[in-house]
Structure 1
Amino acid sequence: MKPLRIATAVLVAAAMATPLVSSASATPQHQPPGQSKKDALRAEVPKGFFIGTAVAGGGHHEDQPYPDPFSSDQPYRNVLAKEFNSVSAENQMKWDFLRPEPGVYRFGPADDIVAFAKRNNQVVRGHTLLWHSQNPAWLTEGGYTKAQLKQILRDHIRTVVGRYKGKIQQWDVANEIFDDQGVLRSQDNIWIRELGPGIVADAFRWARQADPKAKLYFNDYNVEGINAKSNAYYALIQDLLAQGVPVDGFSTQGHLSLRYGFPGDLTDNLRRFARLGLETAITEVDVRMDLAPGATPTPEQLAKQAEYYQRMLDGCLSVSSCNSFTIWGFVDKYSWVPVFFPSEGAATIMWDDFSRKPAYHALRDSLKDCYCGRK
């Protein structure tokens, strides 16, 4: 990171330290984003690069004291359209949301996201097809035979990927299949437990058949650097490629916390997957911080957060195979972080009134200053 950027982040953080807005209904205290199309992250992206965000909805949002953000919050939609040229369904394409009952698909919200993206000249990341979490009870407790489970998964992938054929740029086909020790989730992943590790290769093959042009990815957290978990993916992908399995990409999510150091070997890790002939991506970035309920971040926390965001983006931009950088939500009031990490928060790049944190400006600076042969 350039020293000038860090200094700028500190100054901006200090200027914004008070007052801060923590309530969605509060009167905005900061200058709102400009209306010019050039005053946006997507206006600065290098050629062939995508800056994206998750589209809030489903999952934890259904238990919160507000209506569905994507369908009900017009200012949110305006910022979503203006700032990003890529969108991901946060929960709307996950099994428990998309498949509420056997044989029933709830496609409406996902269809709306895909249509919104088309209207706003955005690409879409599909998330996710095979995962151990957020599966419906009818699936996990249904007592299906192995043959029935395989048929259910095959039909799901063919139906979902086929529905959006030509409309999804990248699919997270297999999500979080290893634990932090690099051990395959053979117990808590119903697909691997019941059908064996080979089902992962099957999922990629079925997805390729359903949409030959979509890029097919492995996706996971805590694989930013070179460690036991990312090593497990590296070995698995080598084996799958040798078998002719259509794996196109490897992505690291990028859920970070100021409690921990930054993964300094991010670039080296992305580059080794690129040497396998893969595309790479960073898909779910947020940077949470220790924050008591009702408290506001300090200038130092905001500057450190901006640094982490910027280093993640810089790492991606420095690797030619990394063409997609997605943040996991852009406004604090809809972030998943306080729900799952009650003592942490303020993890996104905007305050509740959509005004911009230092982290936003850090990302924009990196996009503007990119000398990576992409523009």
Structure 2
Amino acid sequence: MDRRQFFTTAIGAGLTSFFSSSCLKSSLNDNKALLSSSLVNNNNLLTQDKNTSLKAAAHKVKKFYGTAISEADIQQDKDYAQLVASEASIAVTEGAFKWIVIEPLPGQFNFAPADQTINFCSANNLKLRGHTLVWHMAKPDWLSYPPSLSDVERHFTEIMGRYRHNQTLYSWDIINEVIADSPSDAEDQVYGLRKGVKPEYVRDVFQIAASIDNSKEFVINDYGCEDTGWKQDKFLNLVRYLKNSGAKLDAVGLQSHMWFSKNYGWNENGFRNFLKQLKSTGVRPIVTELDVIVDTPLPSTLAELDQMVADGYQKYLNACFAEGVETIITWGLSDKYSWLRHPDYLPKKLIDYKDFIRPLPYDTDLQPKPARNAILKAFRNVKS
């Protein structure tokens, strides 16, 4: 998922009140030398169970582990492609199915990236999630937002019709991030939708999708719902409306870009209650874009940083599994390809500090980190 606005608005993980740029700058200056001096491969200190893949550990307790992939990354980096195939049973496309890629000009369709991704998944026995059909940040310049229903039907007919009988692609993110970032940005205060979007529009988009292919899993995907507050409430209201209106909504995607810090806690009980409420509507909550970052104050060593990330994974996954969540997808497998490390997506003051960003199970050298152990342990701790 493209996140150009994530850090600059400090909203992407729903933790605006906790993100202090002055505190971050001070902490970075204080800790840069210490962390830089510790940037060595400390994986020999870990006890990694490399004989058990994450997908095997998940399967043993009737769950699923997956990762986001880019068709370019898996084509250019064969070691990474092999790692993805060995660890995951599900993949989700980072960009191949987005409107701006599929139909950059009206009526001109480019299915090459999507087809390449499907071929990779099929060859490696991975199931694929199609992400995402409608998203305000992945529309071509010629397309309005929200797209007209006639454009939606025409576009969906092409893309969903093409893959209707494909057995590898099993799930569609029908609409992504339709909830506004804050009350002031919302079209209404009941559902909190983005400007110009009505709940009936979202319903109609799902109905159009179902009229073309109702055999796949249909998902509404959003971020910032892992913490109690305005956005969580609005998302729940929208899900209830869609289910009550008869829309084919099978699952809700919780992106789960998580922040953890020594200075504040995460409302685990509130999140678990949210999962209960979602499930009561008849939808399945799934974790679609999980990664973990450490907020200030930063630790003084890389080992401590990695352990904080691992602890964040385990805490979050334990809560998910306690409420019956079955599918866990990380937004990438290796820090090497994490969107969080890309200079285009970071504030300028953080560009020189990307070594602080280690949010995924494997490091930039494709070596396992404590985060992988934490995910493995969380699966193993699931009670049958």
TM-score clears 0.5? yes
Letter aligned with residue 235 of structure 1: N
Whether contact under 8 Å (1:220, 1:253) holds in the other structure is: yes
Alignment coverage as a number of residue pairs: 330
Equivalent residue number for residue 332 of structure 1: 335
Equivalent residue number for residue 114 of structure 1: 118
Q: Distance in 2 between matches of 1:324 and 1:123?
A: 12
Whether contact under 8 Å (1:94, 1:127) holds in the other structure is: yes
Q: Distance in 1 between matches of 2:132 and 2:110?
A: 15
Q: Distance in 2 between matches of 1:297 and 1:113?
A: 38
> Is it true that 1:158 corresponds to 2:161 in the alignment?
no
Whether contact under 8 Å (2:286, 2:327) holds in the other structure is: yes
Equivalent residue number for residue 349 of structure 1: 361
Q: Distance in 1 between matches of 2:65 and 2:157?
A: 28
Q: Distance in 1 between matches of 2:341 and 2:360?
A: 11
Whether contact under 8 Å (2:39, 2:302) holds in the other structure is: no
Equivalent residue number for residue 304 of structure 2: 300
Describe the shift of the 1:283–1:97 C-alpha distance in structure 2 as closer, same or farther (beyond 3 A).
same
Instruction: Report matched runs for 1:1-375 at 5 Å.
Output: 20=39, 30=43, 38-45=51-58, 46-57=60-71, 68-140=72-144, 149-165=148-164, 166-181=167-182, 185-186=186-187, 196-259=198-261, 261-264=265-268, 265-289=270-294, 298-320=302-324, 322-339=325-342, 340-342=345-347, 343=350, 345-371=357-383, 373=384
Q: So what's the TM-score if we normalise by structure 2?
A: 0.77
Quote how far apart the aligned CAs of 1:167 are: 3.4
CA deviations over 1:280-304 (Å, ceiling 9, x no partner): 101101112369xxx9953222111
CA deviations over 1:330-359 (Å, ceiling 9, x no partner): 111211112323436212111111101101
Whether contact under 8 Å (2:260, 2:292) holds in the other structure is: yes
Describe the shift of the 1:195–1:328 C-alpha distance in structure 2 as closer, same or farther (beyond 3 A).
closer
Whether contact under 8 Å (1:56, 1:90) holds in the other structure is: yes
Q: Distance in 1 between matches of 2:244 and 2:130?
A: 25
Letter aligned with residue 286 of structure 1: D
Quote how far apart the aligned CAs of 1:17 are: 10
Q: Which runs of 5+ in 2 are unaligned?
A: 1-34, 351-355
CA deviations over 1:6-59 (Å, ceiling 9, x no partner): xxxxxxxxxx998646xxxxxx7756x99x9943111111454210110035xx
Quote how far apart the aligned CAs of 1:257 are: 2.1
Q: So what's the TM-score if we normalise by structure 1?
A: 0.78
- Aligned-residue sequence identity (percent) comes to 28
Q: Distance in 2 between matches of 1:353 and 1:270?
A: 36
Which stretch has the larger CA shift, 86-95 or 96-105? 96-105
Equivalent residue number for residue 24 of structure 1: none
Describe the shift of the 1:206–1:231 C-alpha distance in structure 2 as closer, same or farther (beyond 3 A).
same
CA deviations over 1:122-155 (Å, ceiling 9, x no partner): 21111111211121112249xxxx9x83221111
Q: Distance in 2 between matches of 1:47 and 1:258?
A: 27
Q: Distance in 2 between matches of 1:169 and 1:185?
A: 32
